[in-house]
Copies of this chain bind each other. A is one copy, B any other.
Amino acid sequence: MEGMELAPKVKNTYQAVIELMMEGADLNSLTVAEITARAGIGKGTAYEYFSNKEEMIAGALFYEVESSCRDLCMRIKQQESLYEKVNLILVDMEKHITKTNCFLRAVQILMDNSAISSKLHEMIREKKTSEILIMDMIGMIIEDEIPDSYNMPKEKRSYLTMMILSKIVCFAMYLFSVKEEVTSDSSIMRELICKNTCHEIDNFKKEE
């Protein structure tokens, strides 16, 4: 059952990983000792629930991204326009900087060749979720704008997806790069991105 709750120790472990990550820890150098100390459980206990360190970290990342995405998807479905949808994603990222970071880290990890990466790929494969649900979410948005998008040539669909993804990554990178500057007003950037996404989709439709 989807709604099945995580065992409390598992939840604590995931939380610990996310917290440590938010405090600036490098996921690749996280130690089991650190994680379990933060989770408030014994080192041995973690091994009752996970079979190795990679499973703890990849699991935390997967769980966090998956549940944020699930939640975000619901809310996107209630938005009318493309602009509002994209805006919702960006606002959400900004509000939950934690999640933003998680998302960025997950993308990052998916592209390096670490042991955590293998584990995460494996989880995605097993759960038959397309890469961390994000792609599903984008696919859904595209379908709303361009009905019948599933019959487009593969390359074109691919382009649209990548285009929207790149906007999101772009905003995430922006947030990441201005993290320390208190003065910056991200609303201008957000607006530019949303408007621009709509333009691109329009252009695309016109050309077809």
Instruction: Decide yes or no whether A158 CB sits under 8 A from chain B.
Output: yes
A166 to B197, CA, bound (A): 12
Q: Mark A95-120, 1 if CB is under 8 A from B, else 0.
A: 00000000011001001111101000
The prevalent SS among residues of A at the interface is: helix
Contact A108 B113 (CB under 8 A): no
Question: B residues within 8 A CB of A173?
Answer: 111, 162, 165-166
A189 to B171, CA, bound (A): 22
- Which of B28, B196, B200 lies in contact with A112, CB distance below 8 A? B28
A171 to chain B, nearest CB (A): 8
Instruction: Decide yes or no whether A170 CB sits under 8 A from chain B.
Output: yes
Q: Given A165-B170, A166-B170, A169-B169, answer yes or no on A113-B24 (Cβ-Cβ < 8 Å).
A: yes
Q: Can you report 10 A-B residue pairs in the complex whose CB atoms are below 8 A from each other?
A: A25-B113, A26-B113, A26-B114, A26-B117, A108-B112, A159-B188, A159-B189, A162-B173, A166-B167, A196-B203
